[in-house]
């Protein structure tokens, strides 16, 4: 019994030292001028946290500013169309985040009187908000004690405790959550939360960590063993499969034909060029176009194949350009096809390579 009490006291003391060191470092070196740190509201914190999932700060900043300009409140967002939200998300990737953002905005307005619930279990029920994002919102927006475990914190803690296994493994993940919770302070929770992420992003970096600038250098076990640069162990990965597809750029005036993709799956809800799997030859292209659209195509040009890489496969894209005769260019009236003019862009979401092709081809 005595030993247990002593061990708890010792652990509390160590936690205190850790928290003090982190907060002192934050006061001197932490990031305090990011857009979502100004005019801080639960809405702004939520949007930023969703955008920042699997996405670096430098990428997010402009998207966040544009988004806030268009949707300054959760109420305005809740009235948006999915196309409009996806439009602002174009190029950011992981588009289910945008679809879930809109779903959650509607829930907040309809079921919560427009206010985010300051409760972990309630936040986690909302689409797109998992354990770490819920913790971040609670800590940063509401100043309540809560724990996050994002990529930054994982890296810091993996090194601090010299964890040599891959942190994605379920047992290790649970262990990391336990450590993160144990270290979480009650006081200055917002600064502490931000500090742990900043430390991972700016000092305890992936490749060459700047240990000489780290407030945890004396307690870091990986550093003690001299293997900090080797941790965390990287995910066991297979070579990505390669798929092939032809994208049709069917041009009329200053527009190309786009089709809306199904709501789920890759590029869900975005507008894409008509696609032919594998690489067709000249006659196959003409047959496809005639059968599907009843278009009359004057000439067909094959552009260079280029590679677009997703998280789980490569797509080698063969762009095929054709001019559509004006007299025969009727499209379906079901709202799933449009003529898209990049000079006067419709407010819809486009996959990055589609946007690239469309803007270069016209």
Q: How far is the CB of 332 from DNA (least distance, A)?
A: 24
Binding DNA by CB under 7 A: which of 130, 242, 325, 328?
Answer: 130
Q: Which of residues 323-352 bind DNA (CB under 7 A)?
A: 351-352
Decide if residue 267 touches DNA (CB under 7 A): yes
Pairing outcome for strands 297-302 and 306-309: unpaired
Active site residue 49: yes
Segment interacting with DNA (CB under 7 A) among 19-27, 145-153, 213-221, 340-348: 145-153
Q: Are 86 and 346 in contact (CB under 8 A)?
A: no
The answer for residues whose C-beta is within 8 angstroms of residue 114's C-beta and 6 or more apart is 73, 74, 75, 108
Decide if residue 58 touches DNA (CB under 7 A): yes
User: CA-to-CA distance for 176 and 168, rounded, in angstroms?
Assistant: 10
Residue number, 204 or 220, with CB nearest to DNA = 204
Secondary structure (3-state) at 107: helix
Decide if residue 309 touches DNA (CB under 7 A): yes
Map residues 223-262 to x or -, x wherever contact with DNA holds by CB under 7 A. Answer: ---------x-xx-x-xx----------------------
Residue number, 109 or 146, with CB nearest to DNA = 146
Residue number, 33 or 299, with CB nearest to DNA = 33
Secondary structure (3-state) at 27: helix
Secondary structure (3-state) at 348: coil
Structure tokens given for 152 = 């930054």
The answer for residues whose C-beta is within 8 angstroms of residue 240's C-beta and 6 or more apart is 309, 310, 312, 313, 314
Secondary structure (3-state) at 268: coil
How many residues are there in the chain?
Answer: 362
Q: How far is the CB of 233 from DNA (least distance, A)?
A: 7
Angle at 52 between CA 162 and CA 114, to 5 degrees: 125
User: CA-to-CA distance for 254 and 108, rounded, in angstroms?
Assistant: 41
Q: Is 145 exposed, middle or buried (0-12, 13-18, 19+ CB in 10 A)?
A: middle
Q: How far is the CB of 114 from DNA (least distance, A)?
A: 20
Binding DNA by CB under 7 A: which of 1, 38, 113, 207?
Answer: 207
- The residue to which tokens 């169309």 are assigned: 81
Residue number, 147 or 329, with CB nearest to DNA = 147
Residue number, 199 or 324, with CB nearest to DNA = 199
Binding DNA by CB under 7 A: which of 18, 44, 87, 155?
Answer: 155
Which stretches does DSSP call E strand in the chain?
A: 242-252, 255-260, 271-272, 275-277, 297-302, 306-309, 314-324, 337-340
At how many degrees (to 10) do helices 96-111 and 42-51 cross? 160
Decide if residue 39 touches DNA (CB under 7 A): no
Binding DNA by CB under 7 A: which of 47, 92, 146, 256?
Answer: 92
Decide if residue 200 touches DNA (CB under 7 A): yes
Q: How far is the CB of 75 from DNA (least distance, A)?
A: 21
Q: How far is the CB of 216 from DNA (least distance, A)?
A: 16
Decide if residue 15 touches DNA (CB under 7 A): no
Binding DNA by CB under 7 A: which of 6, 11, 54, 254?
Answer: 54
Residue number, 145 or 314, with CB nearest to DNA = 314
Residues carrying an active site annotation: 49
Footprint on this chain of DNA (rule: CB under 7 A): 31, 34, 36, 48-49, 52-59, 91-96, 100, 126-134, 136, 150-152, 155, 170, 194, 197-198, 200-201, 206-208, 232, 234-235, 237, 239-240, 265-268, 308-312, 351-353
């Amino acid at each position: 019994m005595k030993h247990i009490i002593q061990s708890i006291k010792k652990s509390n003391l160590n936690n205190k030292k850790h928290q003090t060191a982190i907060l002192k470092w934050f006061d001197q070196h932490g990031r305090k001028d990011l857009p979502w740190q100004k005019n801080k509201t639960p809405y702004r914190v939520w949007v930023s946290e969703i955008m920042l999932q699997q996405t670096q700060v430098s990428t997010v900043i402009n998207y966040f500013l544009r988004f806030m300009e268009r949707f300054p409140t959760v109420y305005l967002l809740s009235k948006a169309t999915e196309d409009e939200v996806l439009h602002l998300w174009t190029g950011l990737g992981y588009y289910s985040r945008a679809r879930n953002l809109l779903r959650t905005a509607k829930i907040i307005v309809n079921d919560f009187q427009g206010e985010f619930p300051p409760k972990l279990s309630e936040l986690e029920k909302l689409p797109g908000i998992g354990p770490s994002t819920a913790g971040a919102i609670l800590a940063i927006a509401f100043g309540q004690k809560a724990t996050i475990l994002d990529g930054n914190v994982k890296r810091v803690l993996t090194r601090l405790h010299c964890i040599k296994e891959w942190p994605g493994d379920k047992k290790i993940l649970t262990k990391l959550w336990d450590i993160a919770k144990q270290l979480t302070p009650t006081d200055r929770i917002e600064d502490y939360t931000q500090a742990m992420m900043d430390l991972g992003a700016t000092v305890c970096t992936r490749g060459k960590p700047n240990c000489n600038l780290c407030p945890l250098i004396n307690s870091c076990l990986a550093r003690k063993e001299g293997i900090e640069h080797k941790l965390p162990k990287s995910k066991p990965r297979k070579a990505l499969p390669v798929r092939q597809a032809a994208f049709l750029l069917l041009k009329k005036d200053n527009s190309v034909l786009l089709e809306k993709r199904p709501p789920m799956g890759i590029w869900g809800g975005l507008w894409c060029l008509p696609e032919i799997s594998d690489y067709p030859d000249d006659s196959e292209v003409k047959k496809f176009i005639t059968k599907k659209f009843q278009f009359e195509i004057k000439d067909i040009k094959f552009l260079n194949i280029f590679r677009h890489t997703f998280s789980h496969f490569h797509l080698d894209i063969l762009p095929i350009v054709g001019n559509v005769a004006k007299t025969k260019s009727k499209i379906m009236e079901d709202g799933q096809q449009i003529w898209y003019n990049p000079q006067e862009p419709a407010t819809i979401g486009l996959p990055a390579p589609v946007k690239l092709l469309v803007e270069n081809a016209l």
